[in-house]
Amino acid sequence: MTAKYEFKALRGDLKYLIPSVFAFLLLALNVGYYVEAEENSNDRRYFLKQDFTFQMEFISLYSHWAWSYDALTIEQKQELIHYCKYRWGIVTDLDHADELKACSARKM
């Protein structure tokens, strides 16, 4: 008798676990953030992604606007490519400074 009771209890817990996992995955795929690096605060700014990805943290283009296009490393360019794609929906290879300006023109 106790085995049947334990199975019912487990099944009841799964009733809430499966929707919770689904909601978490949906949230992880659709919400991202970047750190706003101001003088006095490091606030997280959340946004809805334009495309699905499990990447949650992005580099902010505006926190690093002092960078010149020529001074960007390959890793920094790749981070900015991801930011433009998932934040604004702009797909770019960031081959020219004009493409960086097109992404930065989208500031809210």
Cβ contacts of 59 within 8 Å, gap of 6 or more: 34, 76, 79, 80, 83
DSSP for 38-74 reads -SS-EEEEEEE-SS--S--EE--TTTTTTS-GGG--H
pLDDT of 17 reads: 84
Residue 53, both tokens: 């990805």
Q: What tens digit of pLDDT does each residue of 36-76 get? A: 776 667 788 899 999 999 999 998 776 666 667 788 888 88
Note the maximum CA span of the chain.
73
Q: Which DSSP letter does residue 94 get? A: -
Domain boundaries, the chain: 2-104
pLDDT tier for residue 27 given thresholds of 50, 70 and 90: very high
